Amino acid sequence: MNALVPLVVLLPLIGAAAALVTGRLPRVQVAVTVSALTLALAVAALLLFVVDSSGTLVVEVGGWAAPWGIVLVVDRLTALMLVVSASVLLVVLFYTVGQGLADGDDETPVSIYNPTYLILAAGVFNAFVAGDLFNLYVGFEILLASSYVLLTLGGTRARIRAGITYIVVSLLSSLLFLASVAMIYGATGTVNIAQIAVRLQEIPPDVQLIIHVMLLVAFGIKAAVFPLSFWLPDSYPTAPAPVTAVFAGLLTKVGVYAIIRTETVLFPGGALSNALMIVALLTLVIGVLGAVAQADIKRMLSFTLLSHIGYMIFGIAIATVAGVAAAIYYVIHHIVVQTTLFLATGLVERIGGTTSINRLAGLLKLSPMIGVLFFIPALNLGGIPPFSGFLGKLGLFVAGAELGTPLAYIVIAGGALASLLTLYAMMRAWNVAFWRSQEEFDEHSSPYTATLAEAPGDVEQRSTREAPRLMVRATAAMVALSIALTVFAGPLFAMSLRASEDLDGARHYIEAVLPGTVLPEVNR
Amino acid sequence: MLVVLAAFFVVAALIPILAGRLGNRIFYLTALVPIGAFAVVVLAAPTVLAGGVLTEGFQWIPTLNLEFALRLDTLSWVFALVVTGIGALVLLYCPRYFTAHDPSVGRFAAHLTAFAGAMFGLVLADDLYLMFIFWEATSVFSYLLIGHYNDRIASRGAALQALLVTTAGGLVMLVGVVILAVQSGTTLISEIIAEPPSGGIITVAVMLMLVGAISKSALVPFHFWLPAAMAAPTPVSAYLHAAAMVKAGIYLIARFAPGFATTPGWQEVVILLGVLTMLVGGWRALKQHDLKLLLAYGTVSQLGFLTVVTGYGVSGVALAGLALVFAHALFKSTLFLVVGIIDRNTGTRDLRKLSGLGGRHPALVTVAVLAAASMAAIPPTLGFVAKEGVFTALIDEARSGRPLSQIALYGLIAGSILTTAYTARFLWGAFASKQDVVRTPYTDHGRGMFVAPTTLAAAGVAFGFLTPQLNHWLSGYSDTLPPGATAGAELVLWHGLSPAFGVSMLVLAAGLGLFWMRDRVYRLQSRVPALVDAGRGYWVSMRTVDRVAARTTAITQSGSLPAYLGVILMVLLGTVGFTVIINRSWPPTMLPFDHPAQVPIVVAMVVAAVGATRATKRFTAVLLLGITGYGLAALFALQGAPDLALTQVLVETVTLIAFVLVLRRLPIKLGAKHGTAFRVGRAVLAASVGVLMAVVVMITLGVRSAQPISLQFPALAYELGHGRNVVNVTLVDIRGWDTMGEISVLVVAATGIASLIFIKQRTGSAPRLAEDEGRRGLRARLKPLTEPASSRNGGAGDAPDGDQAPSQRTWLLAGWTLAPHNRSIVLEVVVRLLFHSAIVLSIYLLFVGHNLPGGGFSGGLLAGLALAARYLAGGRFELGAAVSVDAGKVLGFGLLLAVGTATVPLFFGMNPLESAWWEGSVPLLGHLEFGTTTIFDFGVYLIVVGLIIDVLRSLGAEVDRQQEEHAAIDSTGPIMLFGERSTR
């Protein structure tokens, strides 16, 4: 069973290599890419089953024992993240294929897109399975390098501009992360996460705090936590729709995942909980205000994306088993729903020629199907029951209320406000873009949208009046997946809770990687 | 119950599929669901009315205690009857209300059926969270139904308004619900009510929940959304905004009153807001000209009334209150449906335009009058019975002299007077013959529309005579409340000449008087300005949200990269700086340096770095950056890591070449400088962050107590890794997984560069002569290369032409492809001669790397440098001649080798990347150990080479080509990357 662990990273890499070699045969390349990701998904699902039934898997790469070699660790949290991200990556791939085939480009941009996409997948998976802090950094580098390429695909002026912001900020965050790794190595003499967790307990708490804050700043940029988040809305929305969908769904969540690990394995005990609560509150409120101010749906979604990162940070800040469990469920929900919405917006762009609600009208009449595919995830994102957005929020609120501190209640209030304003932004877009008739649009402008900010450098795309079927189906599959998160919320929440129990106090993790370690008592 | 509940949603989902075929008849089909549900509820009567409860359900999310628990008790039973009964009748009313062949009918039927299901679930749910789920679901379906005429701006606005107001209330309520559930330790409403918790936090929770109820039931200050929601089709108004959704708040209050009516603040909120709403609604109703709006304000008024009586918390009042809920649902739906008939048959709802309907349509008038009688509490209707009951109980309560009870009594009396007045106004407005108004034309659309209102109106009268039964049914709920001042209160049609009857008659007289003086009242109303316009309040607050959002976002999203970086660095400085300041663990001693040579190197690096930021030319900046890189290599060398130093030097060189290639297409000077204040600020920030990092490194190194793992590496590398070069063994074996990741980064980087430059096409090698193209094409391609050389304008005959065109066999291609002033024959020859030696050396480095400085990385870099030299000396066709394979394939094979080395051991049950060894002696190289790690390293080698080919091919060759192309088209100046014209 251990062999499954490296396979989840190796499969996409092999796929990428094969895709590079078969660059001149687009159809073969697509087949290779699809099979690599399908297999990776199968492996991830199998891992989830194995880990959930028989405990954490640890693989020592090259046979080098921990702490000297690199270990790959799959516990329930990792397995969950793997399954969700592999599913999303696969569905988005189909969407891309649908788009590419429809565009009639036999060569572009598939020959670049597919291998890069697979390496991105490998990077994401590697970040999840890394049991070694430096290898986590490598995972980040892989996914970031791929994301640079995907973001600037096509090399248009807007994308280059967005790419520069994105790349420079990402490099800064990587630099900070790398510096933190160096400092941790300086203080503890190791990069094995489990061993770091043990040795950090032995160094003075004030130095622990310095390292703790350094790491959080580095991960905070990646996770787009206020005020380290300004880069995101300026970079994500310019990419092609499926790329934005994957970035929005997955990349920030890798940062959140790293924060979860930091707060549970490396620094258990919630030393910075109150600070994180305040950060969560600001992220929630300021982010959603950004969404309210946008006319462009993609940009608006980018703001809701960073706003909702606040929910996850809140769950982490609660620092109880229930809080972290709710955060995990929210992460899963948010990966799915945010991706779905960006895909649906891609369809909107296709039939409407733009994503600005100032220039969209009559979409419901044009395509009721796309209407449904937009409406359901929009409600979901707005936290309307019974969708997963509501359930995640409920879990967070319950955990917060159980904690019962005044600050927790304030963040709950902020979370409720963010939810309402998200709904406002989404339904306003629905009102104008889907409900408003084309005739009315031709006659006069809407009072709702006159003051909204347009995306910079926005160019009207050609519209086709009808979206390719594969794209619509892929989006429908994502919507179905998001509904499954509601239907199977019981087992999923239970799984999140078990994942969170695994993390509690780092004990379980350390014992899995370094059996027999004598642990000092953790102050909780 | 579960099955019935599910049926609503299943049918709703199927309707859009069936609607196309059935047209308006779809409603008959869908009506079967609420009819079935109604039957189920009626059949449950014996159990429920005998004081029993029916429960059903399953665990949904045990982790959150979220149980799909349904429970049918008396209160639920009454509401469920209303929801399903009226739901069925309204659906039966619809087919005639809509014009035939209306394509939106399917959507409408689906939404309405789903709404009925949500409402049914809401009144049955026993789990707090489940109730909230249905609560919000009703808001969403109401949004869709209000916005049904989605091409009308008013409909859309009203729909969004209703959604936002009710959801805002709902979210506040959610917080309350969560607190209540967490504090009670259970989510089951029945358990919470049975043992209500108390305390300060519970009071807060209950108040928050009341906010939800108030917003849903359109009480002041949220009342404005309900009249606006009249933009919906009339069946929606009759169902959602009279019988069902707005009653959700009333239901919640009634549901929690037995447990929480004594919570501090409950009575104040319920009574004061209820009375205020009743008065405001009634007052406004008297102003309306649109019959539907008149009824809407009447509903607002009645909701205030219902809130007072259901929330009062005493059994006598609650009994009457529940009867009133029932009565209101019957008469208000009837009246809305009557308005719908009038609207459909005359085309207007404006009471100033309607005239003379009364005389012509006795059936319609009868139905309306019966319902109106119930609304105005005229005997023997159910409305009268209920209101009598309320007055009886409240008069007893008011005797205690408690101010709140007094307010409730007198407020309700005043509100009832208004109710009578607007009832009269309604009947008059709809049916009277008015002077100066022409008789309204009327087209009959069939009897079908009369079924629902007639049934409902008849029920309203019939129940007036069924008071003993009502007492029996409803007391199951009211008995859960304390008796208050009146013991054994019950509903009776004829109390005798009691004070309550007196009050009723007084109300009737005063109300009719008010109607009689309607002109004067109307003039008075137009003189009194609306003190608070809540609808405007909504508008203003939404615009404020928009404005605040726009301002905040304008501040945070400046779009300036330096600003974003500045914020990040300041956050770093603020947070990490703070932790450093409070830090007490400083290292006791410090070593200034390990080796004296480090000092000048570091100084040089610092100077170069600072210089790079101050450079005015791009090229200078790049060179200065190079110095920091070489300086780092020197530091590595001093630390005893020749391998790292070698790699660093090679990397730095390749980077420089890449930079220089790119710089050709960028303006020479760096961009405009900003003001000095900015520059100083940024310099201070940068310096502070630098110092901070240094200090943090100092602190962290100072606290180390454990042995670093790297101390074991040399021994591990030699004994287990079969290599003396610990760096190489680390790279390809101990931490080979990292290397695998890093080389995939290289692959991506190569692909990325190619993607940016070629944009459309990734595959292909560097351009080669006579490849793929016919002679003609070749000549066309070569032409611009040779032509621009102005010195050669006379020698056109020298250009490759016809049979003389160069083939790949030519040793020095540049003679054919480069303009002479770009050539250096000596360089070309030297490079050509050294090339193969360099390649051999690079392969040597690859193989010896395990024990000596070298390895795939440095080997690959060297090979790449050799290629770069070929390109720099001979131009792009020379590069094509040197490497004829597709860079993508080189990268792909390299990656395949490396990843394959990691994967294959898995098939042998080993760990990934686990190495295997063979020994032997090879001529020239001597005794060699060959391990799978070398295959891995060869993968690294290929990828590095592939990367450099891609760099040269795109940043070099392709940029050359583009440049020449542009120069050929337009020779006015250099062209910047991405087609931007230089502004130099």
Instruction: Identify all chain A residues contacting B749, using CB atoms and an 8 Å cutoff.
Output: 145
Cα B140 to the center of its chain, rounded Å: 16
Residues A177 and A217: their CA atoms lie apart, in Å, by: 8
Inspect the interface and report whether the beta carbons of A21 and B892 lie closer than 8 Å: yes
Residues B87 and B94: their CA atoms lie apart, in Å, by: 11
Interface check A164 vs B, CB under 8 A: yes
Residues B512 and B522: their CA atoms lie apart, in Å, by: 15
Exposed/middle/buried for residue B969 (C-beta within 10 Å: 0-12, 13-18, 19+): exposed
Q: Which residue of A has its CA nearest to B16?
A: A368
Q: How far is A516 from chain B (nearest CA, A)?
A: 18
Q: What is the DSSP letter of A518?
A: P
Q: Which residue of A has its CA nearest to B561?
A: A165
User: What does the H/E/C string look like for A449-516?
Assistant: CCCCECCCCCCCCCCCCCCCHHHHHHHHHHHHHHHHHHHCHHHHHHHHHHHHHHHHHHHHHHHHHCCC
Best residue of A202, A321, A398, A518 to probe chain B, by most B CBs closer than 10 Å: A398
- Spatial neighbors of B362 by CB under 8 A, at least 6 apart, are none
- Spatial neighbors of B893 by CB under 8 A, at least 6 apart, are A17, A21, B939, B942
Rg of chain A on CA atoms, in Å: 22
Residues B1 and A500: their CA atoms lie apart, in Å, by: 36
Q: Which of B298, B568, B136 is nearest to A222 (CA)?
A: B568
Q: How far is A25 from chain B (nearest CA, A)?
A: 10
SS3 B152: coil
**Mind giving me the DSSP string for A206-240?**
HHHHHHHHHHHHHHHHHHT-TTS-THHHHHGGGS-
Interface check A157 vs B, CB under 8 A: yes
Residues B814 and B834: their CA atoms lie apart, in Å, by: 17
Q: Which residue of B has its CA nearest to A137?
A: B738
Q: How far is A339 from chain B (nearest CA, A)?
A: 23
Residues A477 and A93: their CA atoms lie apart, in Å, by: 12
Exposed/middle/buried for residue B126 (C-beta within 10 Å: 0-12, 13-18, 19+): buried
Q: What angle do CA A313, A319, A320 make, to 5 degrees?
A: 130
Best residue of B9, B58, B61 to probe chain A, by most A CBs closer than 10 Å: B61
Instruction: Identify all chain A residues contacting B565, using CB atoms and an 8 Å cutoff.
Output: 168-169, 172
Residues B769 and B212: their CA atoms lie apart, in Å, by: 77
**Residue B171 backbone phi and psi in degrees, to 5:** -70, -40
Q: Which ranges of chain B have pLDDT less than 50?
A: 762, 770-805, 808, 972-984
Report the helix count and the strand count for chain B, using DSSP H and E: 40, 4
Bond prior to A468 in cis (omega within 30° of 0): no
Residues B426 and B296: their CA atoms lie apart, in Å, by: 12
Residue B972 lies in a domain: yes
Q: Which residue of B has its CA nearest to A134?
A: B738
Mean pLDDT score, A184-191? 92
Last residue in a domain, options B481, B516, B544: B544
β-strands B926-931, B917-922 pairing: antiparallel
Q: Are B43 and B35 in contact (CB under 8 A)?
A: no
Name the residue among B160, B734, B891 with its Cβ closest to that of A20. B891
Q: What confidence tens digit (pLDDT) does each residue in A30-66 have?
A: 899 999 999 999 999 999 999 999 989 999 998 888 8
Mean pLDDT score, A14-35? 89
Residues 3-62 of A with CB under 8 A from B: 3, 6-7, 10, 13-14, 16-21, 23-24, 59-62
Number of domains forming the structure of chain B = 2
Interface check A271 vs B, CB under 8 A: no
Is pLDDT of A253 > 90? yes
Name the residue among B561, B736, B762 with its Cβ closest to that of A112. B762
Number of residues that this document lists for chain A? 524
Q: Are A343 and A474 in contact (CB under 8 A)?
A: yes
Residues B816 and B762: their CA atoms lie apart, in Å, by: 27
Instruction: For residue B59, give both structure tokens.
Output: 């665990």
| pLDDT score recorded for residue B770 | 45
Domain that holds residue B753: 724-790+812-984
Interface check A364 vs B, CB under 8 A: yes
Q: Which residue of A has its CA nearest to B946?
A: A20
Best residue of B131, B753, B762 to probe chain A, by most A CBs closer than 10 Å: B762
The domain limits of chain A are: 270-446+465-487
Instruction: Identify all chain B residues contacting A416, using CB atoms and an 8 Å cutoff.
Output: 171-172, 174-175
Q: How far is B917 from chain A (nearest CA, A)?
A: 13
Residues A186 and B697: their CA atoms lie apart, in Å, by: 7
Q: Are A332 and A80 in contact (CB under 8 A)?
A: yes
Residue B621 lies in a domain: no
Is pLDDT of A132 > 90? yes
Core vs surface per residue A469-502: b (16+ CB within 10 A) or e: ebbbebbbbbbebbbebbeebbebbebbbbbbeb
Residue B344 lies in a domain: yes
For residue A294, the cross-strand partners are A453
B380 against A221, higher pLDDT: A221
Residue B399 lies in a domain: yes
Q: Which residue of A has its CA nearest to B714?
A: A68
Residue B493 lies in a domain: yes
Core vs surface per residue B36-53: b (16+ CB within 10 A) or e: bbbebbeebeeebbeeeb
Residues B472 and B49: their CA atoms lie apart, in Å, by: 7
| pLDDT score recorded for residue B488 | 67
Instruction: Identify all chain A residues contacting B557, using CB atoms and an 8 Å cutoff.
Output: 230, 233-234, 290
Q: Are B35 and B4 in contact (CB under 8 A)?
A: no
Instruction: Identify all chain A residues contacting B716, using CB atoms and an 8 Å cutoff.
Output: 64, 68
| pLDDT score recorded for residue B788 | 37
Residue B27 lies in a domain: no
Q: How far is A472 from chain B (nearest CA, A)?
A: 19
Residues B850 and A6: their CA atoms lie apart, in Å, by: 25
Mean pLDDT score, A134-156? 91
Q: How far is A343 from chain B (nearest CA, A)?
A: 23
Other Cβ atoms closer than 10 A to A17:
29
Name the residue among B580, B755, B903 with its Cβ closest to that of A10. B903
Q: What is the DSSP letter of B952?
A: I
Residue B587 lies in a domain: no
Interface check A517 vs B, CB under 8 A: no
| pLDDT score recorded for residue A461 | 59
- Spatial neighbors of A255 by CB under 8 A, at least 6 apart, are A219, A220, A221, A222, A223, A224
Last residue in a domain, options B485, B519, B544: B544
Inspect the interface and report whether the beta carbons of A423 and B164 lie closer than 8 Å: yes
Own/partner contacts of A402-408, CB < 8 Å, gap of 24 or more, are A402/A320, A402/A322, A402/B182, A403/A318, A403/A320, A403/A323, A404/B182, A404/B201, A407/A274, A407/A277, A407/A278, A408/A277, A408/A318
Last residue in a domain, options B515, B544, B573: B544
SS3 B438: coil
SS3 B227: helix
Q: What confidence tens digit (pLDDT) does each residue in A400-431 have?
A: 999 999 999 999 999 999 999 999 999 999 99
Helices B382-398 and B451-462: crossing angle in degrees, nearest 10, is 40
Instruction: Write down the H helix ranges in B517-617.
Output: 518-527, 534-556, 561-581, 598-614
| pLDDT score recorded for residue A307 | 95
| pLDDT score recorded for residue A463 | 63
| pLDDT score recorded for residue B776 | 39
Helices B382-398 and B315-346: crossing angle in degrees, nearest 10, is 140
Exposed/middle/buried for residue B788 (C-beta within 10 Å: 0-12, 13-18, 19+): middle
Interface check A384 vs B, CB under 8 A: yes
Element (H, E) at B769: none
